[in-house]
Structure 1
Amino acid sequence: MTDIRTQQEVHGLGLSLRPWGAADADVLLRGVTDPEYLRWNTPLRPIADLADAREAIRYRSEGWLSGKLAHFAVAEGGEIVGGVGLSGIDRHMCQAAVGYWVLPGLRGRGIATRAVELCTRWAFEQEGIHRIELRHAVDHMASCRVAERCGYAYEGTRRDGMHQAQRPGTYRDAHQHARLATDPYPSPDPSPDPGPSSTPR
């Protein structure tokens, strides 16, 4: 991620990861204004309307060019189903943090697990990242399961490790998981779930 270049698509595990575009603003808005998303996450930037969503997409593009962010729209069958990406990329230390979310109505199909795994492999194999951290509120069990399925080892609890955007000035404890490029890939390998129709960071 050291050169100015076009953000490429990543394919695998029944999903495609692609750069966010201006035409995706309505989907991004729907995802990050969902009450369940807001319950667990602190967005990179406040998003309340389409103008905010377009600005957020521009911010993600600038983050890619600066090497600080690598955020993707997650698509399945050509339709966006969520988002995944790396934030806080430190090229000197070869570290980053992963975040993710799935649109309401599509959770419970293994999309978050597959998106995190695909993004993780891309970061390790193509971008030279060595350590990726995954943090979630201590009572967000769905996110904890995603971490475990993707081979992110539990490392402890970060006291007041998450800011609660909906309640300014308040914090909550967060579990920290991490995976190294030298860790084995999870087994069994995440694959598309045939079940009916998640989580972010």
Structure 2
Amino acid sequence: MPYLIGPVLPPGMLARTPQPSLPTGDGLVLRPFREADAPAVHAAFQDPLLQRWHARTADSEDEVRGWLGEWIAGWGEESIAQWAVVDTGTGVLLGRAALREVRLDEGSAEMAYWTVPAARGQGIAARATTALARWALDDIGFHRLELQHAVGNDSSCRVAVKAGFTLEGTKRSAVLHADGWHDMHLHARIHGD
């Protein structure tokens, strides 16, 4: 049975070009991850606060190198797109911004982010998320970006709102973390917001 509509974004939309670097215009750049980022990513995942809101931890730099390989390959597979958020002047890793659950046919993806402890409270996650959302919606043509965070993660809620993501509701008992099931806020930003 044929579909009545075509894909929102054609297959190959991302993979046909190299993953770009995305400057925020205010001292940050989102650049593709590199294998050399393994020590900094490993260190970030030792942070208890990051572990609280994620379902994954890193036991070694070798394990993180495996993740980085998956993250880098995800661009070509058009399934995930991960960027290192770095200081423009120093190149120091400050965090990560990503599009997960990429569905080109539906023109949708899920936003994700984290920051290293030293970078918190400086608006870095919001600035990186805003830049990535602008690129995805305006330059690439995604129609909808979703962003989820645990209801108890007030900092992440502030990032979502600052980055222009409207709170749409609460998904009850939606994600399992080490401390049990979490209700999740669902925020979204659509093309034209």
Shorter-chain TM-score: what band?
A: 0.7 to 0.9
Deviations 1:149-201 (A, max 9, x none): 1111111100112221x35xx32100100000111xxxxxxxxxxxxxxxxxx
Query: Are 2:7 and 1:12 equivalent residues in the alignment?
Result: no
How far apart in 2 are the matches of 1:13 and 1:153?
24
Query: 1:170-181, aligned counterparts within 5 Å?
Result: 170-181=180-191
| Matched residue SS, 1:33 | coil
Structure 1 gap ranges (5+): 184-201
Q: Shift of the alpha carbon at 1:51?
A: 0.6
Q: Which has the higher contact order (CA 8 A, sep 6+)?
A: 1
Q: Is contact 2:147–2:165 with CA below 8 Å preserved after alignment?
A: yes
Q: Is contact 2:15–2:75 with CA below 8 Å preserved after alignment?
A: no
How far apart in 2 are the matches of 1:48 and 1:140?
24
- Paired AA for residue 60 in structure 2: D
Query: 1:45-64, aligned counterparts within 5 Å?
Result: 46-64=57-75
Q: Shift of the alpha carbon at 1:128?
A: 1.7
Deviations 1:34-58 (A, max 9, x none): 1100111234xx5211011100000
Correspondent of 1:38 among 51, 56, 75: 51
- Moved >2 Å (runs of 4+): 1-5
Q: Shift of the alpha carbon at 1:8?
A: 1.4
TM-score in terms of structure 1 length: 0.84
- Paired AA for residue 181 in structure 1: H
> How many aligned residue pairs are there?
178
- Paired AA for residue 29 in structure 2: S
Structure 2 gap ranges (5+): 1-12
